[in-house]
Amino acid sequence: MRMLALYSIKGGVGKTASAVNLAAEAARAGHRVLLWDLDPQAATSFYLRVKPRIRGGVGKLVKGKASFDKVIRATQLENLDLLPAALASREMDELLAKRGNSHLRQVLKPVRDDYDLVILDCPPSLSHLSENIFSSVDALLVPVVPTVLSLRTLEQLETFLDDHDIPCPLWPFITLADRRRTLHREVMAGMQERWPLMLSHAIPSASVVERMGLERAPLQLFAPRSVAARAYAALWRELAQRLG
């Protein structure tokens, strides 16, 4: 079971849309996918039409006492299940502070044979939860808007991992790209050399992505021929090749 996290210190960079669309593309490719909504805002759960509630509570889940057949929910997509968020997810940081590293992977141990891929949609913060994410996943997928401030948060994340000696690979990729803007083109041109593990396919800024909130579905279900949907499909193919 491989684990990837969609993570950024900065909000508003297309993290949740990317988590949902990449999970959907992986499921369409035939992989058994679990998408775990770790953000108390529960946007991923909203997009996939699942009530933001963890049956039995977050505490039971973190302690390994949850019944996964009651916690994990099916979605409208074949091969894609969701472990939803809840407002009580805010308690997870405190609960994880009492646990060891890589505990999120340990939590999922009972279902590790049921899924090929787990994707985590993470809140934009540095906390006990984020440190546990860093030590649990195979790589961090970091969406970066091609602006100076967004690029700066990527560098801050790299510094944090280095300072805490956490060997978690960073796989940045561009989101909300507008190639008509000079600054976007300049930032994108310089990133590949600075970040050798950067994914090459960029996600464009597109109103159809914003419509996910109205349609409550990934792009492949309501706009499969859109430029953004094709970009996510290409990004998933690149990820799949990297994951082997």
Per residue in 106-126, pLDDT (tens digit) is: 889 999 999 999 999 999 988
Q: Give the mean pLDDT of 139-166.
A: 95
Measured CA to CA, the distance from residue 56 to residue 27 in angstroms comes to: 27
155 by Cβ neighbours in 10 Å (0-12 / 13-18 / 19+) ranks as exposed
Q: Which CATH number fits domain 2-243: 3.40.50.300, 3.55.10.10, 3.40.50.880, 1.10.10.60?
A: 3.40.50.300
The two beta strands, 80-83 and 73-74, are antiparallel
Measured CA to CA, the distance from residue 65 to residue 84 in angstroms comes to: 17
For residue range 204-227, list pLDDT tens digits in order: 999 999 999 999 999 999 999 999
**How is the chain split into domains, by residue range?**
2-243
3-state secondary structure of 21: helix
Confidence (pLDDT) at 33: 98
For residue range 39-82, list pLDDT tens digits in order: 989 999 999 999 988 877 788 888 777 788 889 999 999 999 99
